[in-house]
Amino acid sequence: MKKRLKPIPRFKNEDEERGFWATHDSTDYVDWSKAALATFPNLKPSTKKISIRLPEWLLERLKQLANKRDVPYQSLMKIFLAERVEQELSAH
């Protein structure tokens, strides 16, 4: 006999929905046997704007490196930061 699914409630915001799914079993609400693989090729990770003060010499060197690689210096900074964070986390 097929399981009767509960209706998914309407949520006021993402926090409310997140809290709901953290405390409820999705199999009571969704028939996962009918799920299809979804891809989101244009989805970009959420970012947060920050302000950072750098010595001028460091900023100039970053711009020089970025110019050699033909990438924006902000992008190069993100790459460098991500690489170093992963290196630090994997070292411990």
Q: What is the pTM of this model?
A: 0.52
46 is a domain residue: no
User: For the residues 37-52, what does the mean pLDDT come to?
Assistant: 88
48-64 confidence digits (pLDDT tens): 999 999 999 999 999 99
Compute the distance between CA of residue 14 and CA of residue 21 in angstroms, rounded to an integer: 11
Check residue 1 and give its pLDDT: 65
Task: Tell me the C-alpha to C-alpha distance, in Å, between residue 36 and each of 9, 32, 41, 80.
Answer: 22, 9, 16, 36
64-91 confidence digits (pLDDT tens): 999 999 999 999 999 999 999 999 999 8
Give the domain extent around 85.
52-92
91 is a domain residue: yes
List, in order, residues 6 or more apart from 5 with CB less than 8 Å away: 28, 29, 30, 31
Q: Are residues 60 and 24 both part of a single domain?
A: no
